[in-house]
Amino acid sequence: MVRGPTTDEHGTMSDLNEKFARLGIESAPGQERRQRTDEVDLSGPVLDGTPVDFSHGDVDAFTPIPGSFDVVEAGFEEGGAQAYTEYRGRLSLREDLAAKLAHFTGAGIAADHELIVTPGTQGALFLAMGSCIARGDRVAVVEPDYFANRKLVEFFDGDLVPIPMDFLATSSASGLDMGALEDAFRSGVRLFIYSNPNNPTGVVYSRSEVEQIGTLAERYGATVIVDELYSRQIFDDRPYTHLRGLGVIDPERVITIMGPSKTESLSGFRLGVAVGPPRLVERMEKLQAIVSLRAAGYSQAALRTWFAEPDGWLAERVAQHQAIRDDIVAVLDAVGDIRTRPTEGGSYLFPTLPPLRLGIADFCKALRLQAAVSVTPGTEFGPAFTRSFRINFSQDHAAAVAAIERTIEVVDRYRAPVLEVAAGD
């Protein structure tokens, strides 16, 4: 039998092996059940308690916007017009969204040219980055920030330029290193991505910081993608600043991403929205056409209930999350050597642990096996976060607090001996 070289012998195929090896998802939120756990050092007995999956919000604890399924059902009954929308989403829906989001973000939106409905905000991020990153482009990404940002830069063959955010150093601003951002722009970076509120820390950027980001990007002709997924869930009446509403940067170079998956618990419909200049929205739609055509037609209808929730519904939801945050932060602070910056917006908290005698990925596996608590290792958000983990505290209030108490017990099991710390840390 004549045999050509097998695919694995190809140079290009090895590149592909490497590329996908870097795209690890074993520790990604929701994927924990696929982990290998046979090599984890388990200390002590299993702790009783209600299992809590902090890797994502619990839509059973905080249910979807009332009426959201009814509009989807009406869309299904309507039939073809809702099933087969333009790739960028149904026009009447985009008109509705454009008006709502223009009001929310403080700047006008042309429904037909500046907005695209996407399969979740993950879809929006993919399309936005795919529309802006060419092979070899250097792209500035905050550390810590949403793990997919880094993976997407790598997938599109860009080069990561990390911009550190010292979120534990201050409480009046995010702690983003503006000098590093300007250095990056000065050295040729033409794309910057950040989430506000920050994922995983829950930090909200100050108005002055957002102004500086916009002003720097404008000065160097850079494009900014801002992920504002959690911008409706801001605590303590803190002010929130939309970059696109500030007027400090040419709208031709700003993409704003939002969606109803988090605060509004519509994640099961997979819906996101991106707002940007016509030239980039057009690229995003072209990419959508080969990626998945459109956000599921029937699902799109659920967006009608977004920003149209019953009176008081959103305020109550925000207050409930703020209360959970307060209780969890109090429990963590009482330990003494777990460092936490209280969440300012969104449902994430990113505690930093004392030195442990096992790595953070293994700690997360042990925590799941010993305490039925799933959290996401800090290293998913930047290589430096080897002692942090992220929780999404959009959970049943009492179960979440109890799960954090169990987490602290497991931390105590794995504390590194003090001497070893002095010598090696």
Residue ranges in 125-184 that form contacts with a second copy under rule CB under 8 A: 126, 131-137, 148, 151-152, 155
Q: Does 44 bind a second copy (CB under 8 A)?
A: no
Gyration radius (Cα) of the chain, Å: 22
Choose, by CB under 8 A, the member of 111, 115, 119, 309 that binds a second copy: 119
Beta-sheet strand order (sheet of 348-349): 348-349, 389-392, 376-377
In angstroms, give the least distance from the CB of 82 to a second copy. 6
Q: Based on CB atoms, which residue is closest to a second copy, 43 or 84?
A: 84
Q: Does 37 bind a second copy (CB under 8 A)?
A: no
What does DSSP assign to residue 140? E
Q: Whole-angstrom Cα distance, residue 294 to residue 278?
A: 18
Q: Of 99, 153, 144, which Cα lies nearest the Cα of 125?
A: 153
- Applying CB under 8 A, which part among 29-37, 42-50, 206-214, 337-345 lies near a second copy? 29-37
Site for a second copy in 73-102 (CB under 8 A): 73, 75-76, 79-80, 82-87
Q: Based on CB atoms, which residue is closest to a second copy, 224 or 275?
A: 224
The token pair that represents 280 in the structure block: 């980039």
In angstroms, give the least distance from the CB of 371 to a second copy. 20
Site for a second copy in 189-208 (CB under 8 A): 190
Contact call for residues 232 and 200 (beta carbons, < 8 A): no
In angstroms, give the least distance from the CB of 224 to a second copy. 12
b/e per residue, 102-136, with b = 16+ CB within 10 A?
A: beebebebebebbbbbbbbbbbbbbbbbbbbbeee
Site for a second copy in 278-297 (CB under 8 A): 282-283, 285-287, 289-297
Site for a second copy in 49-68 (CB under 8 A): 56, 58-60, 63-64
Q: Which amino acid is at 112?
A: D
Count residues contacting a second copy (CB under 8 A)? 87
What does DSSP assign to residue 80? H
Q: What share of the chain is helix, strand, coil (3-state, %, to 5)?
A: 45, 15, 45
DSSP string, 159-171: EEEEEEB-TTS-S
- Applying CB under 8 A, which part among 15-23, 303-311, 336-344, 348-356 lies near a second copy? 15-23
Q: Does 314 bind a second copy (CB under 8 A)?
A: no
Residues in contact with a second copy, shown as a per-residue x/- string from 317 to 356 under the rule CB under 8 A: ----------------------------------------
Q: Does 106 bind a second copy (CB under 8 A)?
A: no
Residues in contact with a second copy, shown as a per-residue x/- string from 373 to 412 under the rule CB under 8 A: ----------------------------------------
Q: Based on CB atoms, which residue is closest to a second copy, 224 or 404?
A: 224
371's CB contacts (< 8 A; 6+ apart) are 46, 47, 49, 403, 406, 407, 409, 410
152-160's contacts with Cβ under 8 Å and 24+ in sequence apart are 152/125, 152/126, 153/129, 153/193, 154/19, 154/22, 154/23, 155/19, 155/23, 156/129, 156/130, 157/133, 158/133, 158/134, 158/191
Q: Based on CB atoms, which residue is closest to a second copy, 132 or 234?
A: 132
